[in-house]
């Protein structure tokens, strides 16, 4: 089995402002993101030979991308993998480039969530079934983990709450430095702790934004990238692990980790040759749909020992100036979470960081950045881990 390391390069990247985009429809958002990526690469849409579109519920098929961008009869594949859709679209596009089948490939991700008029995420259609599963909202299914976490490690719930508040405050701080973020205001620990309860222990500020937005990337092989720009970014590892409902079928699942996350990170670390992730990875965009999810991911990725996540969080290890900055762009929490676009939004920030173009959020000379994107919920999910690096 060959590693994907250094076989694919990002030469253009774009991302819209995320948020309540009453002013734009999903096609408009795609046009904005894709044009930004094209301008970043210096290419035109006629240079694109194939495209992948990541979209969760807003569209079916790859056609909307062709319709919005007026792409002329090129192959376009729509990819859907719940909240990991954007990363998985990128992953599949990378394989086409690495295989040498296409030279110039576009990956776009988009989601229009706010037009539904509903609270939180609203599931897609599909055939009616028995409809007996609990009407579980995302906060409810994710709160199953922190609820058990405190019990499992014998933590006082109020201490766990404080660590979660630290994550919320950190991500709001990072978001305040990001003009494209959905939420750009700082919050205090006090505000996070006293916010209205959504699904215990998750209060309002523990939950990410539900947003509209789009992000896009242009990828090619490194030897072509060299001719286009000097600061292209290399793909170092692509992991994906998909759950088979083991967490609900097997009583041994503990609800304090994501097995899919452990498996996907192992794949990506092996490909990238990462041995000591906390030391080697400079910054990471992780799937903080809820603050508790970020906490557990940091343990699953091997950045904090099991049960020590709260200590590391409180110690500032994952702060913007910390040893490994987690969600320097504000994360799902503040940048927002237009499902199909989120994975590509993560790669947008990492690319900008590696190119030294992250403005007030810029880390010092980063060489490796990581995106962790999770679709599903504790007990069964799809987790994609993407490692990107600056060119040698």
Partner 1 sequence: MAGIISFGAYVPIWRLGEGTKDWGSKAERSVTNFDEDTLTMSVAAAADCLAGLDRKAVDGLYVASTTFPYGEKQAASTVATAGDLGSSIFTSDVGNSLRAGTIAFKMAMDSVKAGSGKRVLVTAADVRLGASRSDIERNGGDGAAAFLFGDTGEAATIDAQHAVVNEIIDNWRPEGETGVRSWEDRFVFQEGYLKAVGQCVTELLQKTGLKMEQFDKVILYAPDARRHAEAVRLIKADPKKVQDPLFGKLGNTGAAFALMQLVTALEEAQPNQRFLVVNYGDGADALVVHTTAKITEVQKLPRRGMKGFLASKKAVPDYADYLKWRGMFSADSGVRRPAGGGPSPAALYREQAEVLRFQGVKCNKCATVQYPPQRVCTICHEKDNFTPIRLSDSKAKLFTYSMDYIAGTPDVPLVISVLDFAAGGRAVLMMTDRDTKEVKIDMNLELTFRKLRLAGGIHNYYWKAMPVR
Chain positions contacting partner 1, by CB under 8 A: 116-120, 122-123, 127-137, 139-141, 143-145, 147-148, 151, 196-200, 244-246, 248-251, 253, 255, 379
Distances from the Cα of 27 to the Cα of 34, 118, 212, angstroms: 10, 21, 11
Q: What are phi and psi of 76, to 5 degrees?
A: -135, 130
Q: Which is nearer to partner 1, 135 or 179 (CB)?
A: 135
**Which one of 56, 166, 287, 337 is the catalytic residue?**
337
Minimum distance from CB of 158 to partner 1 (Å)?
A: 16
Q: Are 285 and 346 in contact (CB under 8 A)?
A: yes
Q: Which is nearer to partner 1, 222 or 307 (CB)?
A: 307
Minimum distance from CB of 145 to partner 1 (Å)?
A: 8
Q: Which is nearer to partner 1, 100 or 154 (CB)?
A: 154
Q: What single string gives the DSSP state of each residue in 5-23?
A: TTS-EEEEEEEPPPB--TT
Q: Which is nearer to partner 1, 16 or 380 (CB)?
A: 380
Residue 322, both tokens: 């910390």
Pairing state between β 368-377 and 283-285: parallel
337 is catalytic: yes
CB atoms within 10 A of CB 279: 11
Residue linked to tokens 């994609």:
384
CB atoms within 10 A of CB 274: 20
**Which one of 15, 83, 208, 289 is the catalytic residue?**
83
Q: Which is nearer to partner 1, 16 or 58 (CB)?
A: 58
Minimum distance from CB of 116 to partner 1 (Å)?
A: 8
Q: Both ends of the chain: CA-CA distance in Å?
A: 24
CA distance 43 to 249: 49
Minimum distance from CB of 14 to partner 1 (Å)?
A: 32
287 is catalytic: no
Catalytic residues: 83, 337
């Amino acid at each position: 089995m060959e590693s994907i390391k250094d076989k694919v390069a990002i030469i253009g990247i774009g991302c819209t402002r995320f948020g309540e985009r009453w002013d734009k429809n999903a096609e408009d958002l795609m046009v904005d993101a894709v044009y930004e990526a094209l301008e970043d690469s210096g290419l035109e849409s006629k240079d694109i030979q194939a495209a992948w579109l990541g979209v969760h519920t807003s569209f079916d098929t790859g056609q909307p991308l062709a319709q919005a961008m007026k792409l002329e009869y090129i192959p376009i594949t729509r990819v859907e993998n719940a909240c990991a859709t954007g990363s998985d679209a990128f992953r599949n596009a990378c394989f086409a480039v690495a295989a040498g089948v296409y030279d110039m490939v576009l990956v776009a991700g988009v989601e229009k969530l706010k037009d539904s008029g509903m609270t939180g995420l609203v599931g897609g259609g599909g055939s009616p079934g028995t409809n007996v599963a609990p009407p579980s909202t995302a906060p409810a299914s994710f709160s199953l983990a922190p609820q058990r976490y405190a019990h499992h490690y014998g933590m006082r719930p109020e201490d766990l709450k404080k660590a979660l508040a630290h994550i919320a405050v950190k991500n709001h701080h990072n978001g305040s430095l990001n003009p494209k973020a959905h939420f750009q205001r700082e919050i205090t620990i006090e505000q996070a702790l006293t916010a209205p309860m959504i699904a215990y222990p998750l209060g309002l500020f523990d939950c990410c934004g539900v947003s509209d937005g789009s992000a896009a990337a242009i990828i090619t092989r490194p030897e072509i990238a060299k001719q286009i720009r000097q600061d292209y970014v290399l793909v170092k590892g692509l992991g994906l692990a998909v759950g088979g409902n083991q967490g609900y079928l097997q009583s041994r699942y503990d609800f304090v980790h994501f097995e899919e996350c452990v498996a996907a990170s192992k794949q990506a670390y092996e490909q990238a040759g990462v041995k000591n992730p906390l030391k080697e990875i400079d910054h990471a965009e992780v799937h903080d749909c809820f603050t508790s999810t970020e906490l557990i991911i940091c343990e699953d990725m091997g950045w904090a020992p099991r049960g020590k996540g709260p200590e590391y969080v409180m110690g500032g290890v994952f702060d913007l100036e910390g040893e490994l900055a987690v969600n320097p762009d504000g994360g799902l929490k503040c940048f927002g979470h237009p499902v199909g676009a989120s994975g590509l939004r993560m790669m947008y920030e990492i690319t900008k960081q590696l190119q030294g173009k992250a403005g007030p959020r810029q880390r010092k000379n980063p060489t490796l950045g990581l995106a962790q994107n999770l679709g599903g919920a504790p007990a069964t999910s799809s987790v994609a881990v993407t490692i990107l690096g600056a060119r040698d």
